[in-house]
Structure 1
Amino acid sequence: MLAIFCLYVSPETFWPAAFIALTLPGALLLNILFLLIWVFNRSFKAILPLLVIVFSWNYYERGFAINLSPNNELLDVEPQMLQVLSYNVRIFNTYAHLQDENQQSSKKMIKWVASHPADIFCLQEFYNETRSPVYNTTSKIGKQHQKRFYIAETLVNGVGAQFGLAIFSKFPIVGKGIIRFREKTNNLAMFIDVKLEKDTVRVYNFHFQSMSIEEKDIVDTYQDQDKLTVGGRKLLRQFKRGVVKRADQVNLLLEHAAASPYPVILCGDTNDLPYSYTYQRLKSEHTNAFQAKGWGIGATYNGKLPFVRIDNQFCDDRWEVLNYSLHDTIPYSDHFPITATFKLVNK
């Protein structure tokens, strides 16, 4: 109960609440363990963890979705339907330490995105270098496939390459904008308004504050006792900084979305787990596509840390989620791409 309560406490007000909330998965698993033990012992106490499961099912679903008939295939496009791809492309591996021989992972990732049949692409950590034969991504993904695009830049380097967020659309873009977060950061959100026959809808693409924590630092901290104290303090400081910034960023994004005159879909990299204030704020006002149509744990992080789902798609109540897919066989980035199909149900 304490962990659930802490989901609703903004880290800007009391940041340790974010740490307490992260214990919720453990508490939920322990509850199942008690249920099994008491059922095995034929104890009437089994009714207690059973009641917990019933009344907190929404929190179980955040970590493990169970949909009896999940539809993981892309559907044939019909009027009022929108198929959306969300993918943190890690600047298409353009940095030297990310590149492999002959830039194969970069080329394959760009080709995979460009050839995907979704109507809308929401790409985080986007990179475009117009003069490069490999990284001319606006041309390879957009122009060559008759897709309109909009880039929200966080940086333009010395050769004119663009870093930031991007949205590509097969439908006409009739409005667009950027949401700059209050504190100085390279993270931001953006949106486009697209025309679906007689209706206009709004799609947001966001990338919230990273922890700036290296995976290696986490592994070293719990594997090396000598590094536990020093490393643990460093991780805690970075954790605090991240959760506080994301709390402000998600509130700013939802404030903007609430003022939208059109039905909204929100896609992006939350850099936060489903057991967090960030996720709770998004989920409290919107439907999560994974919970609605996904199956299993749905981990979207492609790394050594298991069970990490930080990439999400949400929609307001004017949409119905028809399907959801995690593309965990696409290994090119440190994130897996996700897709979902939405249908307008209430104009």
Structure 2
Amino acid sequence: MAVGAQVSRFITFFFRSLFWSLNLLLALYTLLSYWLLYALPIQHWSAGMVMISIPVVWIFNLVCVLIWLTIRPWRSWLSGLVLIVGIVLFGQRTFVWNSPGKLVSTNTPLKVFSYNVQSFGLDNAWERNHSSPRVRRIMNYALRYDAPVKCFQEFYTSTAVADYDVVRRFRQKGYGYSAFLHPEVAETADGGVGVAIFSIYPILHSGREVFSRGNGLVWANIKVGNDTIRIINVHLQSMGIRVGKVLDQEKLTGVRHETRGVLSALRFGFIERGQQVQRVERHIRESEFPVIVTGDHNDTPYSVVYERLRRLLPNSFEDAGRGFGFTYNRLPGFIRIDHQFHDPKLSLLDFETINYIAYSDHYPIVGTYLLGRAAKK
């Protein structure tokens, strides 16, 4: 055999063996991430980093399957099996296709609308003092959407321009009851309210807990007919993902700097949200009424926050959503970080991610529930 042919065979063997070794490591890493999320044995920020990577490692495993099918088909079983295990364990968190339920009760459905409105753009001083079509569009949408209970994150209001006095406009629209994270600024020219709940139904009691300036939770016990429910609206610590800033860098040093910034923000976010979700859990457990938790959780379905809440309450997207339900309207785009969780005592008719409304960096979400134990078909 010619020397050239032997060298070629050796190189092919070397790279095939290297690829197989990397595939083995990938499979082990994927199984580790499954174990961390399924069992929650540790809730350290580093475990959060591993868990959040599950969709990415799925893609890598799929690539491995396709490559091995072309060169060594029998080796495709490894990543194929890993993918099947992931679909069995976590497929429902990723993609679902439920049909809307049909009302088989005289009870009135309760629609709960939730939207991170990105301050309506009013965190910009110039916008705050000049009437802007862009700002008015998102405000008008938030006002006109037909839902008796509306929950907002990054809510902003201003008395500087009549159109921007959103609190007053909500009250004129029939939402006579409200609860705010920062009620002291709800009627000012610079009203960074943060988290807000508006209701056409009476709010019997409400409370708030500030995590940081813009993050926190607001809860409200709302009387709907003969029933009372507790709505908990949350805005947890930001993920800190700013992929656009990394991609905008023209030099490698800039990419490195922004990447370190993203990783540092992710680490800080995992730590903060891990502490914040414990406070959300306390409000769930202390409620004497059925609970709906909604808001911007800033964490994906492959996270400590999501898993802990999911162990207390069913997730509304999983039970009644359709598709992937991605809620983030910026790069990377393919993530679902806005969620609703509901008490099992509430029948869930429908859940929708309104992904054609692109006014904010988040899409609105809305769940439709029946109080009591009324069933759906």
Normalised by the length of structure 1, the TM-score is: 0.85
Q: In structure 2, what is the Cα distance between the partners aligned to 1:344 and 1:281?
A: 24
Q: In structure 2, what is the Cα distance between the partners aligned to 1:324 and 1:341?
A: 6
Per-residue CA deviation, residues 59-113 of structure 1 (Å, 9 max, x unaligned), is 12222x222x4339x9899525311100001111113389599411211111111
Match of 1:15 among 29, 45, 51: 45
Match of 1:88 among 113, 116, 133: 116
Could you say which residue in structure 2 is the equivalent of 1:200?
Answer: 228
Alignment of 1:150-169 (within 5 A): 150-153=179-182, 156=185, 159=189, 161-169=191-199
Could you say which residue in structure 2 is the equivalent of 1:341?
Answer: 368
Q: In structure 2, what is the Cα distance between the partners aligned to 1:75 and 1:17?
A: 42
Q: In structure 1, what is the Cα distance between the partners aligned to 2:257 and 2:191?
A: 38
Could you say which residue in structure 2 is the equivalent of 1:133?
Answer: 162
Alignment of 1:117-128 (within 5 A): 117-128=146-157
What secondary structure does 2:283 align onto?
helix
The 1:216–1:119 alpha-carbon spacing in structure 2 relative to 1, beyond 3 Å, is same
Asked if the contact 2:246–2:255 (Cα under 8 Å) also holds between the matched residues in 1, the reply is no
Q: In structure 1, what is the Cα distance between the partners aligned to 2:66 and 2:99?
A: 27
Q: In structure 1, what is the Cα distance between the partners aligned to 2:88 and 2:176?
A: 41
Alignment of 1:103-252 (within 5 A): 103-130=132-159, 132-153=161-182, 156=185, 159=189, 161-181=191-211, 184-220=212-248, 224-252=251-279
1:262 to 2:289 alignment: yes
The 1:215–1:30 alpha-carbon spacing in structure 2 relative to 1, beyond 3 Å, is closer
Q: In structure 1, what is the Cα distance between the partners aligned to 2:308 and 2:213?
A: 21
Per-residue CA deviation, residues 163-204 of structure 1 (Å, 9 max, x unaligned), is 2211111211111111233xx553110111111222111001
Asked if the contact 1:10–1:277 (Cα under 8 Å) also holds between the matched residues in 2, the reply is no
Per-residue CA deviation, residues 234-287 of structure 1 (Å, 9 max, x unaligned), is 222211111100000011111221111000000000111221111111222211
Q: In structure 2, what is the Cα distance between the partners aligned to 1:71 and 1:112?
A: 23
Counterpart AA for 1:15: W
Counterpart AA for 1:61: Q
Asked if the contact 1:121–1:168 (Cα under 8 Å) also holds between the matched residues in 2, the reply is yes
Alignment of 1:284-303 (within 5 A): 284-303=311-330
After the TM superposition, which of the residue ranges 244-253 and 37-46 deviates more from structure 2?
Answer: 37-46
Per-residue CA deviation, residues 304-323 of structure 1 (Å, 9 max, x unaligned), is 32202111111121122211
What displacement does 1:23 show? 2.1
After the TM superposition, which of the residue ranges 326-335 and 201-210 deviates more from structure 2?
Answer: 326-335
What displacement does 1:33 show? 5.7
The 1:205–1:102 alpha-carbon spacing in structure 2 relative to 1, beyond 3 Å, is same
Identity of aligned residues (%): 29
Normalised by the length of structure 2, the TM-score is: 0.79
Q: In structure 1, what is the Cα distance between the partners aligned to 2:328 and 2:64?
A: 30
Q: Which has the higher helix share?
A: 2
Counterpart AA for 1:177: G
After the TM superposition, which of the residue ranges 168-177 and 336-345 deviates more from structure 2?
Answer: 336-345
Q: In structure 2, what is the Cα distance between the partners aligned to 1:214 and 1:34?
A: 29
Alignment of 1:12-91 (within 5 A): 14-31=44-61, 49=80, 53=84, 56-63=87-94, 65-67=95-97, 69-71=98-100, 79=107, 81-91=109-119
What secondary structure does 1:145 align onto?
coil
- Report the RMSD for the aligned CA atoms in angstroms: 3.2
Match of 1:315 among 338, 342, 345: 342
After the TM superposition, which of the residue ranges 78-87 and 308-317 deviates more from structure 2?
Answer: 78-87
Q: In structure 1, what is the Cα distance between the partners aligned to 2:192 and 2:292?
A: 25
Gaps of 5+ in 1: none
